């Protein structure tokens, strides 16, 4: 039997095409149930305050960079969304006088317009946010060399090459409303994928690439970054791929409750914990990564009960 059409965008795959039993089971989970979803290779952590949450996220940068040496450079791949950790990272580096000469950083993604990544002069530029919120705030004597900062471009070759020979200790991310990390969105329902989405193995083989963004992703970014002005948000981006994600020793996802809702946070936690992999829910494919951690701001977990506003 053919899978149902998306309720959000009928020309696309997304979580609304899943079996109703999976969706209903996810909606029933309590916060305590989420904690019980931890298993070998998948850890669920709660933080009671935003201060603790973002400090813990910032400390992952410090932990990754502290391990860097001339013989074994080490780095972190980090998101824009959330961004609150970035000034904390700079402050910690300065206070600890952490020498970053052998440290690396990979940006996860960037907007693409007219076939090219946007420049730092674009108001929504992710590189601009990383530089202004973190790297330009680090004391000059401590900063990593410019060559150790890797930002994805529409011509992906140099970025892909930068992952070779350098250890990525952790890849951080948020979770979008379409259940992605970076801009690893579900694909359009066309051609080979008209009736079924890519298999987990096919999706896992995707490299850093330019992608079309699911309409829900465009809407979300307008809401979180552009005051709701959808027409200001690009509809394409270049994103770090699953290939690089599986090169990272750990994947750490940060759920502050601002980028996805109580249902979405439950759905991907359940699917990863139970090994239910479906590329219509790209985050679920992390069930096959050996070291994944979901970090929740406890008050944002909420519930999926009906509440009229």
For 134-193, the pLDDT digits (tens) are: 999 999 999 999 999 999 999 999 999 999 999 999 999 999 999 999 999 999 999 999
In a domain, 304, yes or no: no
Is the pLDDT reported for residue 23 higher than 90?
Answer: yes
In a domain, 171, yes or no: yes
In a domain, 217, yes or no: yes
Residue 197: what pLDDT? 97
Q: Which helix (H) or strand (E) holds 109?
A: strand 109-113
Q: CA-CA distances (angstroms) from residue 203 to 77, 162, 267, 282, 297? A: 20, 22, 19, 8, 29
In a domain, 92, yes or no: yes
Extract the runs of DSSP E, i.e. beta strands, from 123-235: 149-150, 167-173, 209-212
Strands 116-117 and 109-113: antiparallel
Residue 222: what pLDDT? 77
Q: Report how far residue 171's alpha carbon sits from residue 181's, in angstroms, rounded to the nearest whole number.
A: 10
Query: What CATH number corresponds to the domain at position 238?
Result: 3.40.50.1360
Residue 137: what pLDDT? 98
Give the mean model confidence (pLDDT) for residues 19-27. Answer: 96
Cβ neighbours for 291, distance < 8 A, ≥ 6 positions apart: 41, 249, 250, 251
| DSSP class per residue in 212-232 | EPPHHHHHHHHHHHSTT-GGG
Give the mean model confidence (pLDDT) for residues 8-21. Answer: 96
Provide the total of helices (H) and of strands (E) in the chain, helices listed first: 10, 11
In a domain, 100, yes or no: yes
Global pTM?
A: 0.95
Q: Report how far residue 252's alpha carbon sits from residue 72's, in angstroms, rounded to the nearest whole number.
A: 22
pLDDT digits (tens, 9 = 90+) for 248-306: 999 999 999 888 999 999 999 999 999 999 999 999 999 999 999 999 999 999 998 87
In a domain, 203, yes or no: yes
- Per DSSP, 188 falls in state B
What domain count does the chain have?
1
In a domain, 188, yes or no: yes
Residue 71: what pLDDT? 95
For residue 202, give the nearest of 283, 285, 274, 275 by alpha carbon. Answer: 285
Domain that holds residue 260: 42-299
Is the pLDDT reported for residue 2 higher than 70?
Answer: yes
State the pLDDT confidence band at 1, using cuts at 50, 70 and 90.
low
pLDDT digits (tens, 9 = 90+) for 61-98: 999 999 999 999 999 999 988 999 999 999 999 999 99
For residue 212, give the nearest of 246, 181, 239, 179 by alpha carbon. Answer: 239
Strands 103-107 and 74-78: parallel
Q: Report how far residue 159's alpha carbon sits from residue 69's, in angstroms, rounded to the nearest whole number.
A: 21
Is residue 154 within 8 Å of 116, Cβ to Cβ?
yes
Q: Which residue has the tokens 């206070």?
A: 95
In a domain, 250, yes or no: yes
pLDDT digits (tens, 9 = 90+) for 208-231: 999 999 999 988 877 777 676 667
């Amino acid at each position: 039997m053919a899978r149902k059409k998306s309720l959000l965008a009928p020309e696309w795959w997304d979580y609304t095409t899943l079996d109703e039993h999976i969706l209903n089971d996810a909606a029933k989970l309590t916060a305590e149930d989420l904690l019980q979803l931890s298993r070998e290779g998948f850890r669920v952590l709660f933080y009671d305050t935003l201060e603790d949450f973002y400090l813990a996220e910032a400390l992952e940068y410090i932990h990754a960079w502290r391990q860097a040496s001339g013989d074994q450079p080490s780095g972190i791949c980090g998101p824009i969304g959330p961004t609150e950790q970035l000034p904390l990272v700079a402050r910690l580096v300065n206070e600890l006088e952490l020498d970053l000469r052998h440290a690396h950083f990979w940006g996860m993604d960037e907007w693409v317009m007219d076939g090219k990544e946007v420049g730092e002069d674009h108001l929504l530029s992710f590189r601009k946010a990383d530089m202004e919120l973190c790297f330009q705030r680090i004391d000059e004597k401590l900063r990593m060399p410019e060559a150790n900062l890797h930002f994805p471009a529409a011509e992906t070759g140099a970025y892909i090459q930068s992952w070779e020979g350098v250890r990525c200790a952790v890849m951080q991310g948020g979770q979008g409303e379409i259940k992605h990390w970076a801009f690893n969105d579900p694909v359009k329902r066309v051609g080979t994928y008209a009736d079924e989405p890519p298999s987990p193995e096919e999706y896992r083989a995707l490299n850093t690439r330019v992608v079309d963004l699911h309409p829900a992703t465009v809407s979300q970014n307008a809401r979180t970054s552009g005051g709701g002005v959808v027409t200001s948000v690009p509809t394409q981006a270049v994103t770090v791929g699953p290939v690089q994600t599986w090169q990272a020793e750990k994947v750490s996802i940060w759920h502050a409750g601002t980028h996805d809702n109580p249902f979405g946070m439950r759905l991907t936690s359940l699917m990863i914990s139970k090994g239910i992999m479906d590329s219509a829910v790209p985050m679920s494919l992390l069930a096959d990564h050996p070291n994944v951690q979901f970090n929740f701001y406890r008050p944002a977990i909420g519930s999926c009960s009906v509440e009229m506003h």
